[in-house]
Amino acid sequence: MFKPVAIFKPAAISLLLAALSAMTTSGFAQDKISGDVVKIGVLTDMSGAYAGNVGPGSVLATKLAIEDFGGKVAGKPIEMIWADHLNKTDVAAGRAREWMDRDGVDVVTELGNSAVALAVMNIAAEKNRMTMVTGAGASRITGEDCKPTNVMWVYDTYALAKVGTLPLVQAGAKKWYFVTADYAFGHSLEGDGMRFVKEGGGTVAGSSRYPFPGNDFSSFLISAQTSGADAVAFASAGADLQNEIKQANEFGLAKTQKLVAMLMSITDVHGVGLEAAKGMNFAETFYWDLDDDSRKFAQRFYKELGKMPTALQAGQYSAVLNYLRAVEKSGSDDVAVVMKTLREMPIKDAFARNATLRADGKLIHDTYLVSVKSPQESKGPWDYYTIVRTVPGDQAFSPLSESKCPLVKKG
């Protein structure tokens, strides 16, 4: 005997198909967010030489970006965890593996130390997780060591050196001496700095490399002083840079030589004071008093931390905000989907203006040549910079034609 077969009218069939489609789409959408939560790990320097530039401020910047989404993205909760990498690659690598294997972290961010960033990038690529570098600057991060799962959001040593060094050479500082932190970031900054000194028609009198982190820079500064260089460039950052500037002033270098910070944050200027930092020129990627958007973000930040954000902290806010926008837009936290969405969508916020994400993972955006005001020029607390020049991103960052990144197709 044949079993009766249900016969559906066309209208009923349409309703059934719609219901099945809705069920399938709903189930698929849920599967697009792994673990039903978007988890962000902030791996930063909370206690060392770079804590003032990143650290607690980068954790706060992440919190503010999450607040802008109301704590949820694509209908799923957003969670943040953070840890101090202590500027040690083994500590950072161990924590990153733990986060990815045990805690389900989708993206590891900040990574304010180039050696740390390079180590964690490799782990994330192996495990198909995303990294967003906002605090490290070695050019190789998006060069020969680039990864399809990584972005570099704020700066690199090429842009810092080109925007901050070349104009000084062209203005007459022809002979240079470098005092350099002896690890990946310092080496990269020194190398790019020397390149643009020479391309500008200058010469390099010499360099000294000190063990990172440092405290006593006297012997290196004496070498710089006796070199007869027109400019003494500090290929360092954070607390090291502040100590170098203070000690250089004590030794009297500023009276006869141009002191050049190759990476200086507004908290460094605040730390050494306007009297010691006045007249210094360097490249920046953010200033709190640039426009209405930057001031609005900075005031939120200042209300909670009592200081203005550095470029690295503003960049952290921007990176996390746009990561969440990409997850929201695509409905997925899959790395390949998020990366594709980031490259396709407009990127504009308090930090980035009409920025684009390149094939090598580098965010291309405006960079600024700034000059530190004198105490007499400053109109109030944190009024520290004069914007000398705005350099468009395609002029500040290295062209793709020079890229060593295997992801970049040449031809």
Report how far residue 15's alpha carbon sits from residue 71's, in angstroms, rounded to the nearest whole number: 35
Residue 19 lies in a domain: no
**Mean pLDDT over residues 276-296, rounded?**
96
E strands, 281-366, are 281-284, 356-357, 363-364
Regarding whether 181 and 129 lie in a shared domain, the answer is: no
pLDDT given at position 410: 64
Identify the CATH number of the domain in which residue 77 sits: 3.40.50.2300
Regarding whether 162 and 126 lie in a shared domain, the answer is: no
Residue 28 lies in a domain: no
Regarding whether 81 and 197 lie in a shared domain, the answer is: no
Regarding whether 336 and 266 lie in a shared domain, the answer is: no
State the DSSP code for 265: -
State the DSSP code for 306: S
Regarding whether 296 and 163 lie in a shared domain, the answer is: no
Structurally, the chain folds into a number of domains equal to: 2
Regarding whether 371 and 357 lie in a shared domain, the answer is: no
pLDDT given at position 308: 98
Residue 50's domain spans which residues? 36-155+290-366
Report how far residue 310's alpha carbon sits from residue 411's, in angstroms, rounded to the nearest whole number: 38
Dihedral sign computed on CA atoms, order 280, 283, 289, 291: positive
- Cis check for the bond before 213: say yes or no (omega within 30 of 0): yes
Residue 225 lies in a domain: yes
pLDDT given at position 19: 44
Regarding whether 271 and 373 lie in a shared domain, the answer is: yes
Q: How many other CB atoms sit within 10 Å of the CB of residue 304?
A: 12
Bridge partners (DSSP) listed for residue 41: 81, 108
Report how far residue 97's alpha carbon sits from residue 120's, in angstroms, rounded to the nearest whole number: 8
Residue 20 lies in a domain: no
Regarding whether 375 and 245 lie in a shared domain, the answer is: yes
Residue 395: partners with Cβ closer than 8 Å, 6 or more residues away? none
118: pLDDT strictly greater than 70: yes
| Last residue in a domain, options 329, 350, 366 | 366
pLDDT digits (tens, 9 = 90+) for 375-411: 999 999 999 999 999 999 999 999 999 999 999 986 5
* Torsion angle of the four alpha carbons 101, 103, 104, 107, in this order, in degrees rounded to the nearest 10: -100
Nearest Cα residue to 283 out of 264, 269, 301: 264
Instruction: Name the burial class of residue 37, with classes exposed (0-12), middle (13-18) and buried (19+) by CB atoms within 10 angstroms of its CB.
Output: middle
* Total residue length of the chain: 411
pLDDT band at 343 (very low <50, low <70, confident <90, very high): very high
- Please state, for a pLDDT cut of 90, what percent of the chain lies above it: 89
pLDDT digits (tens, 9 = 90+) for 182-202: 988 999 999 999 999 999 999
Tell me the three state secondary structure of residue 42: strand
Model pTM score: 0.89
Report how far residue 120's alpha carbon sits from residue 41's, in angstroms, rounded to the nearest whole number: 12
Regarding whether 165 and 55 lie in a shared domain, the answer is: no
